[in-house]
Amino acid sequence: MSENWIWCWYKGGEKVKKYSLVCFRNIFLLCFKEGNNMRFKSFVLVLVLLILSFSIFVTVYAADVELNTIEGPGNVPFYLSRFVEFADETGIKVNLNVIPYGRDAGIKLISSFMAGGDQYDVFLIDCIEVAQYAGAGWAMSVDEWITPDLEEDIVPFAKDGMMFKGHWYGLPYASEWKSFVYNDKMLKDAGLVEFPKTWNDVVEYGQELQNSGVVKYSTAFSWAQKECLICDFAALSASFDGVFFNEDLEPLFNKGGAVEALQWMVDSINEYKVVDPASIMWTEDEVDAAMQNGDIAYQISWGYPLVRLNDPDRSSIVGQAKIGLMPSVDGEHPYTVSGPMGWAISKGTKNPAEAWEFVKFIAGPKGSKVAAIRQGMFSGWKSVLNDPEVQAGVPGLEDMAKQAEYIVNRPIVPWYHEFSVKFAEKLHEALTLQKSPQEALNEAVEETLKIKSEYEEATR
């Protein structure tokens, strides 16, 4: 019997140990209070020991809880290491279902929601998905766990990305934007003394880099027919002074700077030949790999790109890369795109308290600091961004902060999912020369107006 008690006390962790010691102290004081008879003392001891036994049993039982999540192949080693650390700290195991390249984890996640939502307890959520998932009742509000400290610490645009109709639906994990990264050594090898500030500079410098034999292609982008294409277009369109929608959500992206941006994208591959043509099949992972391998001189990258580019285990260009403001059409509109993501809880989970412990562990300020230092994830917490250890461990953070003044979001529309599928399709038709940029964007406007009309009709 004594061995079982010791085992439970040990397995229960620090909280159980502290709780049990406080209980024994109170029992001792009560039992030996002057005037109590032996029968009363015995009764109190038995009663409290029974309560304590039940409490320890519940705590130990909770330690056997397992959570499930789903994600693509990127960052798997980092996730697994954090899941092990979480299990060591809490006793809660997290199982990861890895979806292979080329398959959309979101489709499988939504299927699980429609089947009850208990297959995956926690999941990564993009800011563009919060309204959809919360509105459909798939994501759980975490309002009850949000403390004043978290409210005060969160970066405003990161908070906005996790909110829907005034409620929290997760904590920010990768509250990032795309930064313009250039290989300073390559530029100097080609006789170039500064990074490009306009898109014309990107072309001229790129051709010089290629003519000098420094690289085959000076840059690459994530222009596969996926969400990454819309992210890049949002950044380039803003840098050409383009606009997506007006206040009434009427599309404007077939006019002015938006058309010029798409024309530049097409020309950069086919006329200027400074962008690797494989870009039309690439996501961010392939572009990151090309930069790390020294195959290209420029990229736009999420998070803290210099962390991975200065990691000798992943990069062959350690110490060569720097960060500058995004190029623009005139050097005066260096806009980029933001895309805060967070960890959320399924409404169907059978373990909401444990799921919140995981979300807080991996995406709260402490977990965010770990992700910033180890993985180059951009934190959504002020305390992390101002942390001396983070600043010391994240090269280029000061330069990145300058970009924060020039950030746009992807369109915030309640029918974003339907819109983005059609929009990526039309952008890709232009990039693959099936249609001219103007034709593709005109058709995208027509499709958008249909989607908007159908949504308004369905929600009347």
| Full-model pTM | 0.69
Domains 66-176+339-408 and 185-337+413-458 share a fold: yes
105 contact partners, CB below 8 Å, separation of at least 6: 70, 71, 72, 99
- Please state, rounded to an integer, the average pLDDT across all residues of the chain: 86
Residue-level pLDDT at 284: 96
Residue-level pLDDT at 10: 33
Residue-level pLDDT at 16: 43
Buried b (16+ CB within 10 A) or exposed e, 66-91: ebbbbbbeebeeebeebbeebeeebb
CA gap 447, 11 in Å, rounded: 58
Indicate the domain borders of the chain: 2-59, 66-176+339-408, 185-337+413-458
Confidence of residue 211 (pLDDT cuts 50, 70, 90): very high
Residue-level pLDDT at 25: 53
pLDDT digits (tens, 9 = 90+) for 391-425: 887 777 778 877 877 888 888 777 898 999 999 99
Average pLDDT score over residue span 71-83: 90
Nearest to 179 by CA among 298, 85, 65: 298
The CB density around residue 14, as the number of other CB atoms within 10 Å, is 8
Residue-level pLDDT at 372: 87
Average pLDDT score over residue span 364-382: 90
pLDDT digits (tens, 9 = 90+) for 223-270: 999 999 999 999 999 999 999 999 888 999 999 999 999 999 999 999
Alpha helices in 12-37 (DSSP H): 13-31
The CB density around residue 139, as the number of other CB atoms within 10 Å, is 26
Query: Would you say 422 and 444 are in contact if contact means Cβ atoms under 8 Å apart?
Result: yes
Q: Which residue has the tokens 């993985």?
A: 375
Confidence of residue 3 (pLDDT cuts 50, 70, 90): very low
Confidence of residue 56 (pLDDT cuts 50, 70, 90): very low
Select the more confidently predicted residue: 181 or 103.
181
Residue-level pLDDT at 14: 45
Q: Say yes or no to pLDDT of 101 above 70.
A: no
Residue-level pLDDT at 30: 52
| Residue range 185-337+413-458 in CATH 3.40.190.10 | yes
Residue-level pLDDT at 73: 84
pLDDT digits (tens, 9 = 90+) for 176-206: 899 999 999 999 999 998 889 999 999 999 9
Confidence of residue 4 (pLDDT cuts 50, 70, 90): very low
Buried b (16+ CB within 10 A) or exposed e, 280-299: bebbbebbbebbbebbbbbb
CATH superfamily of 66-176+339-408: Periplasmic binding protein-like II (3.40.190.10)
Average pLDDT score over residue span 151-172: 89
Residue-level pLDDT at 105: 78
pLDDT above 70 as % of the chain: 86
Residue-level pLDDT at 409: 82
Query: Would you say 160 and 290 are in contact if contact means Cβ atoms under 8 Å apart?
Result: no
Average pLDDT score over residue span 195-221: 97
Confidence of residue 6 (pLDDT cuts 50, 70, 90): very low
Q: Say yes or no to pLDDT of 430 above 50.
A: yes
Residue-level pLDDT at 61: 40
Q: Say yes or no to pLDDT of 293 above 60.
A: yes
